[in-house]
Amino acid sequence: MDKDQVAAVLEEIATLLELQGENQFRCLAYSRAARAILQLEGSLSEVVAAGKLDEVPGIGATLKDKISLLVTTDHLPFYEELKDKTPPGLLVMLRLPGIGPKKVKAMYDQLGIDSLDKLQTACAADEVAHLKGFGARTQQKILDGIAFLGQMGNRFRLDHALYIAEQLVDGLRALPGVSRIELCGSLRRRRETIKDIDILISSAKPKPIMDAFVALPQVVQIVGHGETKSSIMTAVDGVAGRSLINADLRVVSEQQFPFALNYFTGSKEHNVTLRQRAQQYGLKLNEYELAGPKKSVTCKEEADIYKALDLDYIEPEMRENTGEIDAAAAHKLPTLIRPEDLTGAFHCHTTWSDGSASLEEMALSARKLGYKYLGIADHSQSLNVANGLTPERVRKQQADIDALNKKLKGVRLFKGTECDILPDGRLDFDDKTLASFDYVVASVHTHFNLTEAEMTARILKAVSHPRVTMLGHATGRLLLRRDGYKVDLEAILKAAAKHGTMVEINAHPQRLDLDWIHCKRAKALGVKLVINPDAHATSEIALTTYGVSVARRAWLEKADVFNTQTPAKIDEQLTKRRQ
Ligand code: DGT
Ligand code: CA
Ligand code: ZN
pLDDT in tens, 35-94: 888 888 888 889 999 988 888 888 988 899 999 999 888 889 999 899 888 888 898 888
Among 123-137, 317-331, 411-425, 555-569, the least confident range: 123-137
How many Å apart are CA 124 and CA 120, to the nearest integer?
6
Top pLDDT among 478 and 547 is at 547
- Sign of the Cα pseudo-torsion (574, 576, 577, 579, in order): positive
Ligand of minimum distance to the alpha carbon of 348: 3
- The answer to whether residue 347 scores a pLDDT higher than 70 is yes
Q: Whose CA is nearest to atom 3 of ligand 1?
A: 195
248 CA to middle of ligand 2, Å? 8
Ordered by start, the domain boundaries in the chain are 3-152, 154-254, 263-333, 339-578
Which among 162, 268, 269 is the best mutation to test ligand 1's pocket, defined by most ligand atoms within 8 Å of the CB?
268
Among 93-97, 278-282, 329-333, the least confident range: 93-97
For residue 240, name the pLDDT band (cuts at 50, 70, 90).
low
- The answer to whether residue 406 scores a pLDDT higher than 80 is yes
Query: What would the CATH number be for the domain defined by 3-152?
Result: 1.10.150.110
- CATH of 339-578, picked from 2.40.160.20, 3.30.365.10, 3.20.20.140, 3.40.720.10, is 3.20.20.140
Per residue in 183-194, pLDDT (tens digit) is: 999 999 999 999
Please report the pLDDT score of residue 507 as a whole number: 98
Please report the pLDDT score of residue 579 as a whole number: 82
- The answer to whether residue 235 scores a pLDDT higher than 90 is no
Nearest atom (ligand 1) to Cα of 187: 8
Please report the pLDDT score of residue 152 as a whole number: 58
Domains 3-152 and 154-254 share a fold: no
Helix (H) or strand (E) holding 200: strand 197-202
Q: Which residues of 354-385 are buried (b: 16+ CB within 10 A; e: fewer)?
A: ebebebeebbbbbbebebbbbbbbbbbbbbee
Q: Whose CA is nearest to atom 8 of ligand 1?
A: 185
Percentage of the chain beyond pLDDT 70 is 98
Please report the pLDDT score of residue 100 as a whole number: 86
Q: Which residues line ligand 1 (CB under 6 A)?
A: 185-186, 191, 194-196, 198, 263-264, 266-268, 271-272
Per residue in 466-524, pLDDT (tens digit) is: 999 999 999 999 998 788 999 999 999 999 999 999 999 999 999 999 999 999 999 99
Q: What is the CA radius of gyration of the chain?
A: 26
Residue ranges near ligand 2 (ion) with Cβ within 5 Å:
185-186, 196, 198
Q: Per DSSP, what are the bridge partners of residue 389?
A: 380
Q: Whose CA is nearest to atom 15 of ligand 1?
A: 264
- The answer to whether residue 241 scores a pLDDT higher than 70 is no
Please report the pLDDT score of residue 302 as a whole number: 98
> For 291-314, what is the mean pLDDT?
96
- CATH of 263-333, picked from 3.30.210.10, 3.50.50.60, 3.30.70.120, 3.40.710.10, is 3.30.210.10
For residue 163, name the pLDDT band (cuts at 50, 70, 90).
very high
Superfamily of domain 154-254: Beta Polymerase, domain 2 (3.30.460.10)
Please report the pLDDT score of residue 153 as a whole number: 62
